[in-house]
Chains A and B, each alone.
Chain A
């Protein structure tokens, strides 16, 4: 068992709506895993299942080998959660907001006192620890929530859209804090910002309508997302001549000939205009885009949400 989180065909149904549809994921220990998807994709639903707040309709999920549906208490000892809403207690001071979860984790006073001092220091909130959180800026509140999730020194930290609603500067600052946490801890974060996933995560899963549509490292996805595309071009004559010309182009990675049909694979779907230049004088009967690139898929699913 070398994974921190594993889901097996996890599904969640709300009435007739399938919020998660047979999702399989494996998250390696010590990685920062990003779950990327537009609003309503099912990100929060998955986090709620993994953090034992909700039961799946079917399928299984494991945290460090523990079953989330039957070993909830054991699972909760190992995790820290930053929920989508801040859920800070406005009637408690910043410090008390950290003390309560420490006590809920049955930590010794001496131990949590020191831990809280460290966390306040790390999140640069030490001088505000006696203040109530509703006097804090959005970024400070978020940092306090992150600190709260870290009180029990969790093995796995869940962050549900940690920077949604923050201004770009504050968002970047929060990334800095998250990055500084890496080490033994596994971080599972959801976001609908492509950039956030790129900046922070070693592994990214893109989901929509509760289905996994792409998975890979940021680098892998970037090349994929940049978009290979296969076009089918039917020519009236001179198929071989044009095939040779196309093969010499930088943006073309592959050319296949099948009777009068040329199938060309482009590194970028938008390189089609250069390709058409080469095809000047050819008798083009038909052009069609065969495969949707991941970029298309991503834009289609994230819509206006893409890149914030």
Chain B
């Protein structure tokens, strides 16, 4: 009744089982690998999107344009109010500074601006809105507040871009979650089906095992190990695939996204945490599949 002898037997039986039906096991490993690869890729894509949003989001600047007849005192007052609300310094931008900036941005065309007889730009107040205040709807609320002031002509904070991006990110996150669940389910089913084939192929062996006194558990464990090994092999293949993918596609994506200043984070490998998570997930998938298979087929 030695436990190590049993453990040795289980491993031997599992490895023999895989060796005797390499094709079905290969299919299972492939399925798990593809699923994990897709999940890893989605994770990478998701992180890319997050960094994209936060890099755009970090540039969220609230610009308050004052009415032409607003005084310097009005501007100072609004700047002070904004500073208080956001906790960061709000800057009053005089019309000539704004014009200079615009001219610089326009480059060659800018020279025509300097030739204008009168500066058409109003006084504006700019403030970088910190993360904490920004929140969902926070920015809008702030803008509304400022708009109420009689000296204010308009408030601009790139709301469209930020809100739409956030909405997309949210949709993607939910979609990803649903997709994730579906992929996991499908993979577990396929892995379970292949193990059912493996069990079917070995039903005679199981029958005899039980006739010579094997417990149910004894007959089941090798299949559970097989499922786990399938999962690990699948995870290994997926991690390898992801490495390869980022190595090949990373630089290209990087240059593609360079203008968004998130290029840096495309040049990524598979970090060990993700690799471990995928391995765990693979193990779980394989085990879940073999549990179902064993439960359905091992009532000898």
Do A and B make up one complex? Answer: no
